[in-house]
Structure 1
Amino acid sequence: MANFVQIERGLGPEGRIAVVRFDRGDGINALSPEALRQLTAAAREFEDDAETSVVVLTGSAKAFSAGFDLKDAEGRSRRSMDIGALRRHLQLGPRLTRAWQGMEQVTIAAIEGFCIGGGVALAVALDFRVMARNAHMRVPEIGLGMNMSWQSVPRMLHLIGPARTKQAVMLADERISAEQAYDWGLVEQVSEPGRAYDDAMAFAEKFAQQPPLPMAMTKLTVNRLAHALDDLASHMDVDQFALASLTEDHKEGVAAFLERRKPRFKGK
């Protein structure tokens, strides 16, 4: 089985920075079910790591992630699953984002190229985002006849507010440039092309120089206050996703994507 994720520890001041590199070698870093499992396992690798206080997550030089892999064989098997099996399989994404949001370490995403769908869901589960100037984000789920899930809507809401969240999610064909993402508050820093990782590491060094224990406690306090109602607001998104995946519009959306044509939705 291919290993898509590499972890490097002991970097930066006092060796307190770690880097998680996600690279499928396919140029787009699509999130197959196996990639979701490996990225979840990577986050859990730090549960008992007292030596690391900052984790930088980076994709390839061309892409942070193109989102869920609609061409992956296991992913495509969802179409023949019964509702019980489908609901279990759909937990892979929420499990990933919860694992990264719940980390005690400060987390920073370094984004080059494109960050789409599930890539956005993963990025907003981290504490901070550094994005190259020529990179872009897009949330295509509605255009595929699905809802935006993985409990990412409340996370986006905290960052950019209700109107921008609706705009980003509902206007599924529109790219969000790095400058726009910065203006909205979706990313904290814009870098020159090819420099997102270097700037994320420089940002990480500032945190690595702080005392780890009060930093971890502060992160926990802020997260608990900010996200206290998130589960109440988004606990249904897996079932909404499962329901939406049974519609004719979803089948049309995916077919149009694979056939590179404009979809025709009918509200069925």
Structure 2
Amino acid sequence: MADMVTIEKGLGIDGRVAVVRFDRGDGLNALSPEALRQLTDAARSFEDDAQTSVVVLSGGPKAFSAGFDLKDAEGRSRATMDLGALRRHLKLGPRLTRAWQDMEQITIGTIEGFCVGGGVALAVALDFRIMSRDAHIRVPEIGLGMNMSWQSVPRMLALMGPARTKQAVILADDRISAAEAREWRLVEQVVDAGATLDAAMVLANKIAAQPPMSVAMTKLTVNRLAHALDDLAGHMDLDQFALASLSEDHKEGVAAFLERRKPRFKGR
């Protein structure tokens, strides 16, 4: 299986910065099941790394990620899985976002081009996000007859509040511009196109210059307080997704997407 993820360590101040690059080289950077596994393994590879204080997660130059790969053969096999097998397979996404959120290192995402669906779920699991001025974000799941999952709704809620989270998720066809994302507190910084990685390294070096253990403990405290109740809601989204995937509306949403037409939902 081709490597979609590369890791470069020993960068920045005292070698305390690492860059994880997720780039499939196709301009879309879709999240196939294999990509989910490789990105999860990348996050877990830092568990015993005391030398690295900051990890920058970079997508491709044209896209952070187009979201879950609806054309991937393994992903499409979900349509024929029984409920038990489907629930097990659906754990790949939440496992990925949890692995990145739980990292002791500070994490910074760089968003060029666009960030869609599962890409948004991954981005909001990070500590900081830097977005290029011409990029956009979109959360299309509801438009495909699904729910936004991977435990991302509680994370978006913590960043943006209830109304903006509903706006971002429910209005599935709407693109969120970089300026809007900054105003909504979905991203922390907006820079010129092609400059997100440089901006991330500036921030990473500022963080890496701080006492590593104090930084790690502060991150843990803030995350525990901000996300203390997330599991009350987050554990349900996997089963909501499994249930929605059995609906006629989901089949219609995916078919319409693949056929490049507007879906006709019937509430069943």
Give the TM bin, normalised by the shorter chain. Answer: over 0.9
Alignment-derived partner of residue 152 in structure 2: 152
Alignment-derived partner of residue 116 in structure 2: 116
- Counterparts of 1:158-237 in structure 2, within 5 Å, are 158-237=158-237
Alignment-derived partner of residue 75 in structure 2: 75
CA deviations on 1:19-55 (whole Å, 9 max, x unpaired) are 0000011110000000000000000000000000000
Letter in 2 for 1:101: Q
Q: Does 1:134 align with 2:134?
A: yes
Separation (CA, whole Å) in 2 of partners of 1:234 and 1:45: 25
Alignment-derived partner of residue 5 in structure 2: 5
Separation (CA, whole Å) in 2 of partners of 1:17 and 1:191: 20
Alignment-derived partner of residue 97 in structure 1: 97
Cα RMSD, aligned residues only: 0.4
Letter in 1 for 2:29: N
Residue aligned with 2:130, SS: strand
Separation (CA, whole Å) in 1 of partners of 2:234 and 2:28: 28
Alignment-derived partner of residue 252 in structure 1: 252
| 1:234 Cα offset (Å) | 1.7
Alignment-derived partner of residue 33 in structure 2: 33
Residue aligned with 1:137, SS: strand
Separation (CA, whole Å) in 1 of partners of 2:24 and 2:61: 12
Q: Does 1:64 align with 2:102?
A: no
Alignment-derived partner of residue 262 in structure 1: 262
Q: Which runs of 4+ in 1 moved over 2 A?
A: none
TM-score with structure 1 length normalisation?
1.00
Residue aligned with 2:64, SS: strand
Letter in 2 for 1:41: D
Separation (CA, whole Å) in 1 of partners of 2:150 and 2:244: 14
Letter in 2 for 1:133: R
| 1:18 Cα offset (Å) | 0.2
Letter in 2 for 1:18: A
Separation (CA, whole Å) in 1 of partners of 2:138 and 2:62: 15
| 1:233 Cα offset (Å) | 1.7
Letter in 2 for 1:89: H
Structure 1: stretches of 5+ with no match in the other structure: none
Q: % of aligned pairs identical?
A: 79
CA deviations on 1:199-238 (whole Å, 9 max, x unpaired) are 0111111001001001000000000011000001221100
CA deviations on 1:71-90 (whole Å, 9 max, x unpaired) are 00000000000000000000
Residue aligned with 1:65, SS: coil
Letter in 2 for 1:131: M
Separation (CA, whole Å) in 1 of partners of 2:27 and 2:61: 9
Structure 2: stretches of 5+ with no match in the other structure: none
Separation (CA, whole Å) in 2 of partners of 1:240 and 1:36: 20
CA deviations on 1:94-124 (whole Å, 9 max, x unpaired) are 0000000000000000110010000000000
Letter in 2 for 1:138: R
